[in-house]
Every structure is written in structure tokens, then in C-alpha cells.
Amino acid sequence: MSFLGLGKSVIQISKSVYDEIINHAKEAYPNECCGVLVGTTYHAPKVFESHRATNANNDRAHDRYMIDPKELNLIDKIARTQGMDVMGFYHSHPDHPDKPSATDREWAQPGYSYIIISVAGGKDVSARSWGIEDENASFKEEKIKII
């Protein structure tokens, strides 16, 4: 898996994928869901697929997530056979804002988009995307454009 380092401020995502990640967040409530965003970087970052991942953080699934590296490598391999790349990740924040936590920042890598879905009471949702330019940078919000 490569770090794309796109320096993007907009991430385009298909409506069907956006709806899928929102539904995943609602279904996982009151725990955090997580998954991988797959797409292309031609002209502009576009997400065409999402892959649900198992939240491997069994001890704190209500407020932390972890994607098993083996699962991530498999998703990356599948994406590459389809001519796509891992573009980023998504996860939910049950009953918390759609802003990155200190833990989110600690684990973030440059070049990827991180969509955070806030789920309040299991039904009210909002989503925002974030990215970092380098390992010492703070998160910057990226616009989500539904295509």
C-alpha cells in the first residue's frame, strides 16, 4: 500500500458509497464502525468503493477502532487488481462530533482521507472528511463532494 500524498482539499465519493458508509455507521451504533475507501487519483481523488472492515479493537469498540493489517492488505490487493488504490478510511464516532480525536491524529498517515461519521442516538448522522499533509501536521478538513 502506498501513501498517495495528494494534498487534496476535496474528495469525491459516489452517492452509493456515501450511503453505504452512513448505513454502516448506523448499524454499528453504539460501537464504532470502520472501513476502507477505494478509488482512483486521475485528475481528482474519487472514491468508487467502500470495504467494511471488522473493528478489531474488541476492548474499546465503543470509542476506538482498529483495522487488522491482514484485512487491510487484502483490500489493498483487491483494489490494485481493479486498477484502484486505497484512498482513505472511514469510521464512526457514536454520540460524538465528526471531528478527529487525539487518537485519530496519532494513527493518521499523510495522503489519505479520513471520513468521520457522527452518529447521535443511532440515527442522526453527519460526516466530514479530514487529511494531513505530513506527519507533523494537524488535520485539515476536506470537502466531500457527492458524485
In angstroms, rounded to a whole number, what is the distance separating the alpha carbons of residues 54 and 121?
22
- Residue 135 identity (one-letter amino acid): E
Helix residue ranges, H only, 1-147: 15-28, 69-81, 102-107
Pick out the chain residues at pLDDT < 70: 1-8
Residue 123 neighbours by CB distance under 10 Å: 8
141 is known as an active-site residue = no
Residue among 35, 65, 40 nearest 51 (CA) = 35
pTM for this structure? 0.91
pLDDT for the residue 8: 62
Q: Which of 20, 27, 32, 142 is catalytic?
A: 32
pLDDT for the residue 125: 93
What are the chain's domains?
Answer: 10-146 (3.40.140.10)
Helix residue ranges, H only, 15-111: 15-28, 69-81, 102-107
pLDDT for the residue 4: 45
